[in-house]
Amino acid sequence: MIVRPHVASLVPVIASLMFALSCGHVQSAATEQPVTIRLSTGFRSGNFRPFSEALAKGYGQLMPDVRIQQVDTSGSLDNIQGLEDGAIDIGLSQAGIAYMAYNGRLRQSARPMRRIRGVAILNSSAVQLLVGPRSRIRSIDELVGRRVGVGPDGSGAAVISQALLHGYFSPGDVHEVNATVPQTTSMLLAYAIDAAFTVSSVPNEDVKHMTEAGARLIPIRGPRVDRLRTMYPFFRSEIIPADAYHGMDQPVNTLSVDVVLLVRAGLDDAI
């Protein structure tokens, strides 16, 4: 079962982190003045936002001598770049993007980003692959020669989707389409693309809308998935339950990626 990212379900994690934080009185050693923690919150409608805001609130309640500065970002890539550059102190990311960034395997940057540090695993984001209403596609193998929406260029969803496609297919087998989530939804339902990825918790509102309009989830499984997971070990096997979306009468095998809490290298251990 995939963990939903609602703040209530993350209370034990937040409580544990906050307990650890509350054990110290954090001040700048040089000035004895309260320090400022720059915490990325993601974009306003993103999955990271609720947890980031809950974490900021927890810091404020348990460490009143610490000033929390919330920083809007566009998601995993922005968060990791901010940590690497020292522009933010704490942020969330999909584990796959953190893994590729640390090892210099991002298409956006071949330079290893070695100033990021993992603190905790929070929840999972499922890779949800949909085909349009009345589509005859039943397997991921049938995507050869098809148009597949992977998400906005440079987004976390696009990075994960492209890693999956590049590990599963030969170069040029699939026509990748970059578009916003609303555009991707419209194109899938209008048959302008043949399939689309969403990388998020289950259930997801956009996937719910598409399945209610007749779109279907298709499984991601088979021998080539095992090869993919050797190339990209951050992918985990996952099952989307049968009652997750409209029209589902069977569980769907897929992959998932953990969401992790990261800090910049050199951040005070008391924080």
Residue corresponding to tokens 């720059």: 38
Residue 24 pLDDT more than 50? no
- Contacting residues for 142 by C-beta, under 8 A, at least 6 apart: none
Return the pLDDT at 249: 92
DSSP 142: G
Percent above pLDDT 90 for the chain: 68
pLDDT at 4 over 70: no
**What confidence category does residue 200 fall into, taking pLDDT thresholds of 50, 70 and 90?**
very high
Q: Which residues of 93-129 are buried (b: 16+ CB within 10 A; e: fewer)?
A: bbbbbbbbbbeebbeeeeeebeebeeeeebbbbbbbb
* Angle at CA of residue 252, ends 246 and 258, nearest 5°: 105
**Does position 13 have pLDDT exceeding 60, yes or no?**
no
Q: Strand 195-200 and strand 147-149: pairing? A: parallel
Give residue 3's pLDDT: 37
Contact 147, 177 (CB under 8 A): yes
Considering the entire predicted model, what is its pTM?
Answer: 0.84
Amino acid making up residue 148: V
* CA separation for the pair 258, 1 (Å, rounded): 13
List beta partners, residue 130.
Answer: 196, 217
- Give which of 8, 21, 4, 9 is closest to 58, Cα–Cα: 21
Token readout for 57 is: 């609130």
Among 54, 15, 42, CA closest to 200: 42
3-class DSSP assignment, residue 1: coil
Q: State pLDDT tens for residues 94-126.
A: 999 999 999 999 988 889 999 999 999 988 999
Q: For residue 45, what pLDDT is reported?
A: 65
Number of residues that this document lists for the chain: 271
Q: What percent of the chain has pLDDT over 70?
A: 86
**10 Å Cβ neighbour count for 250?**
10
DSSP 3-state percent helix, strand, coil across the chain (nearest 5): 35, 25, 40
Q: Which residue has the tokens 């919150």?
A: 41
Rounded-to-integer distance, Cα 211 and Cα 85, Å? 40
Q: What is the pLDDT of residue 151?
A: 92
Task: Decide: helix, strand or coil at residue 88.
Answer: coil
| pLDDT the model gives residue 196 | 98
